Amino acid sequence: MQRNLVILILFVFHCTLIAQDTICMNTTLKHSIESKHLNETRDYWVSLPLNYSDSLRYPVIYVFDAEWRFDLIKNIAFDLGAHKKIQNAIVVGIPHIDWENKRGQDLTFSQSRIEYDGEKVDSTWYNATNSGGGIKFYNYLIHELIPNVNTNYATNHHETLIGHSYGGYFGGYILSLEHPFEVIHIYDPSIWYSDGEVIVNFKKSKYSKHTKIHITYQPQPGFHKGKIEAFIKALEHNEYIELSKAFYENDTHNGLFLDSFYEGIRKTNQ
């Protein structure tokens, strides 16, 4: 039922500038950054809320895997904001240069020797060509992308991060690092990666930043599910984290994304 409610998206509109106001009808604005941390040019995409104005300040929703997820999220966020179900927000999509290799390099911090089902693997599976570049991407995100967005748009420095699978692992991993996010969404995250290093690092970190976390997951395979549930227990024991969670017993790794965002953004971005 709730899924039917959100299939009201995919409008094609335009933005009109009037003085310093932008009467925004949900177009996509594209930017590029010459990244020193990644040593390459990176793009990012922006969607503005209805009646965006430079005289106001807006929260920002950052979306990993923008190639697949940005259009979906920008339209849902636009509609929910326009109808006052959530705060009007700027949506920033973060695409990857090369999906097959760069995505893994960007979003993982090590080279795993274990797979999502618990099977041990050798260095031909995860190596420098497809994984382990997360700290560079983290520095790009924190020190280049977010400041660039704050310079170009009227933001209020309230940031939400949306990550699924490897992106969810990344969102969990940065809890052990300095980060600016007030809200982190973690959908069916790859907590299995490197045998649960996210959990180990989080427990060592003595986390003390007030953060809302929305985490969702599904049951397959059992090793993957078990690691997520161990991570949830660690999060539940931290007084600084406001946790919401949902288990999609009859859904799939990719199938849970839409409902995860729709339900999660209404809970965390009021």
Q: How would you list the strands of the sheet with 211-217, edge to edge?
A: 29-35, 40-47, 90-94, 58-64, 155-164, 181-187, 211-217, 241-247
Nearest CA to 23 out of 47, 46, 49, 45 is that of 49
DSSP summary character for residue 1: -
Token pair belonging to 252: 């799939």
Dump pLDDT digits (tens) for 137-173: 999 999 999 999 999 999 999 999 999 999 999 999 9
Report whether pLDDT(135) > 50.
Answer: yes
List, as one string, the DSSP characters of 41-86.
Answer: EEEEEEEPPTT-BTTS-EEEEEEESHHHHHHHHHHHHHHHHHTTSS
Can you list the domains of the chain with their CATH numbers?
2-268 (3.40.50.1820)
- Please say if the pLDDT value at position 90 is more than 90: yes
Contact between residue 114 and residue 195 where contact means Cβ atoms under 8 Å apart? yes
User: What angle (nearest 5°) sits at the alpha carbon of residue 176, between those of residues 166 and 107?
Assistant: 20
User: What pLDDT does 145 receive?
Assistant: 98
Of residues 134 and 10, more confidently modeled: 134
Residue 26: per-residue pLDDT = 62
Question: pLDDT tens digits for 221-260?
Answer: 999 999 999 999 999 999 999 999 999 999 999 999 999 9
Mean pLDDT (the chain, rounded)? 91
Give the model's pLDDT for residue 196: 98
pTM (two decimals): 0.91
- Mean per-residue pLDDT for 55-60? 97
Give the model confidence (pLDDT) of 8-38 as tens digits: 433 333 444 433 444 455 689 999 999 999 9
* Per-residue model confidence (pLDDT) at position 207: 97
